[in-house]
Structure 1
Amino acid sequence: MRAIKLKVYQQTANYKIPISYEFRESYPLPPFSTVIGMVHYLCNFDSYHPMKVSVQGSHISSVNDLYTRYEFNNGTKYDAKRHQLTAEGMGIGRGIGNVQLLVDVNLVLHVVPENQGEVEFIYDALKNPREFPNLGRREDLAVFESVEIVELGKKLEKNVEFATLANFLGRKNWAAYVPINELDDDSHENMHQTSLQTGTKYRINKVYTLNDLGRDKVVRKWEKYEVLYTNFTFFKHENYLLDSEGDFVFIV
């Protein structure tokens, strides 16, 4: 099985948590849907191409920043005393909000297309992007430090701690989205007792389908995956998956 491996640097980034409004809080790493969306955009795909992804990385710190926020409701007529903007007679309010920015983000991403015949096409699209890539918000520019095709395989013969391997590779504060089913039984049970020491549990979006509710209303139904955001854990022996450069891969 082959994958496209990207090493990415971002000066700042926000991977918005969907339920955060007043303060746009960020996930610690980009969700699977964000990575898949970037790949599809750079490849000019106009429909979903099934793929799995692995997301790991680090950031140095986070800061709060201001952004311009627009608010409107369908059917609300423009009122000069309440609204700053109008669009076809609809009133729009403009103000400021707060956003969390991750600083000095380093990522290692693996993209595994279901159709392995697409590996070279996706590799070429990411190696020579048609425009400067972004990951997160439109303004969150992403520098592709390297783009490679790697082989994936289960090669380890003994248990290895994820944090130990990350330190061996010279990566500080390194963490990953690890699917819950790749944790061994002891770590999974311990997670509920000392969750702050072992990681944070998330339900991360991957892909969506469109559900027609009638009356011209269509909503997205997301496929979500339970993961542990962690930099210190052990894995089941049979689930060890590494690329040909020695990095763990946690494909979802």
Structure 2
Amino acid sequence: MQHTKQVLKIKIHQPSAHYRIPFSYQRRFTYPIPPYSTIKGLICNLMGIRDEGDERLTKIKGLSLAIYGRYESLIKEYIWFRNLSKNSHVDKFHSVTNRTIDNIPQHPGGQMPVTVDVLQDVNLIIYIYHPEENFLKSIKKAFEDPSERLSPIHLGRSEDWLVFQEIKSVELIQKSAMSIKYFAWIPAKEYVDKNFIDGDYDNFFDGLNGNIFRLPTFYKITDTNQRVFEEYVTVKLYEGESFKKMKFYVDSNENIPVIFTILRGNKDARNSG
């Protein structure tokens, strides 16, 4: 008997996108695919989830996500970042009241040249699973009819608009696989959704080529209105090489083994990273 599991599949196209790697400033580096927190933010935006007072956020914390993607090329954008603090203005103009240099009026404050890495022609496949079938249906409805959205629909920067190419429920079929032809986040054993794994996942993860990252998932807003991430998952960034054959739940139409990461649900997620 062939085992199957039903999940939500979202295909997205973006003409350009930047998924910023934290702590990159004067040159802003990008991940090749969005991290989990970015996809979670998209879901919350579409569903109209504003804050922790919304009971649906508790259910969002039970999501499992799998993220796959490709891009055509990477370009560098050169922009100015402005700082409107008093000290930055004085450093540039040498006076609080002055706004001219060489008798030419300029913008107030200081400025710094910044390079931003931008992906071009991005195609993503996002798989979403939740143990409560009705809640998964409500997520699907929000993608199909985002009338409750909190802001214009984007992924990455606010200007990184997107097109939904496919929104549908699909059945994953259990079978063997030995490659994924996309960039993908592959979770460590503490964070993988074991409902979709049949085999020695520890050896699979240990033998997989890829750099290890600690990706944020959930954050708190401090009293000073700062966003502070407090939960992380450990993953490898997989770049499309083959691996030892193993059984997974596979999307047969895409020939993708779908490896889900649970966003929350174990004590290790609360490590500071």
TM-score category, normalised to shorter length? 0.7 to 0.9
Q: CA RMSD in A?
A: 3.1
Name the counterpart of 1:101: 118
Are 2:162 and 1:142 equivalent residues in the alignment? yes
- Give 1:75-224 correspondences, 5 Å limit: 76=87, 79=90, 81=93, 92-130=109-147, 133-152=153-172, 155-156=174-175, 158=176, 160-163=177-180, 166=181, 174-181=182-189, 184-186=201-203, 188-190=205-207, 198-210=209-221, 220-224=228-232
Of 93-102 and 4-13, deviating more is: 93-102
Residue type of the partner of 2:145? N
Name the counterpart of 1:30: 34
Identity of aligned residues (%): 24
Partner secondary structure for residue 257 of structure 2: coil
Contact kept, 8 Å, 2:72 with 2:120, in 1: the verdict is yes
Contact kept, 8 Å, 2:220 with 2:229, in 1: the verdict is yes
| 1:10 Cα deviation from its structure 2 partner | 0.9
| 1:206 Cα deviation from its structure 2 partner | 1.4
Name the counterpart of 1:68: 80
Residue type of the partner of 1:59? Y
Once the two structures are superposed, residues 169-211 of structure 1 have per-residue CA deviations (whole angstroms, 9 ceiling, x without a partner) of: xxxxx221111326855554545xxxxxx22222111122456
Query: Which ranges in structure 2 are unaligned for 5 or more consecutive residues?
Result: 52-56, 100-107, 193-199, 262-273
| 1:222 Cα deviation from its structure 2 partner | 2.8
Contact kept, 8 Å, 1:205 with 1:224, in 2: the verdict is yes
Partner secondary structure for residue 218 of structure 2: strand
2:14 aligned to which of 7, 10, 15: 10
Question: Measured at CA, do residues 219 and 250 of structure 1 come closer, stay the same or move farther in structure 2, by a change above 3 Å?
Answer: same
TM-score by length of 1: 0.75
Question: Measured at CA, do residues 146 and 217 of structure 1 come closer, stay the same or move farther in structure 2, by a change above 3 Å?
Answer: closer
| 1:105 Cα deviation from its structure 2 partner | 0.9
TM-score by length of 2: 0.70
Contact kept, 8 Å, 1:199 with 1:232, in 2: the verdict is no
Contact kept, 8 Å, 2:46 with 2:142, in 1: the verdict is yes
Residue type of the partner of 2:79? Y
Name the counterpart of 1:232: 241
Contact kept, 8 Å, 1:12 with 1:102, in 2: the verdict is yes
Contact kept, 8 Å, 1:3 with 1:111, in 2: the verdict is yes
Contact kept, 8 Å, 1:184 with 1:234, in 2: the verdict is no
| 1:4 Cα deviation from its structure 2 partner | 2.1
Could you tell me how far apart the structure 2 residues matched to 1:15 and 1:98 are?
Answer: 14
Question: Measured at CA, do residues 177 and 31 of structure 1 come closer, stay the same or move farther in structure 2, by a change above 3 Å?
Answer: same
**Structure 1 outlier segments of 4+, above 6 Å:** none
| 1:93 Cα deviation from its structure 2 partner | 2.5
Could you tell me how far apart the structure 1 residues matched to 2:243 and 2:69 are?
Answer: 17
Name the counterpart of 1:194: none
Contact kept, 8 Å, 1:5 with 1:109, in 2: the verdict is yes
Partner secondary structure for residue 133 of structure 1: coil
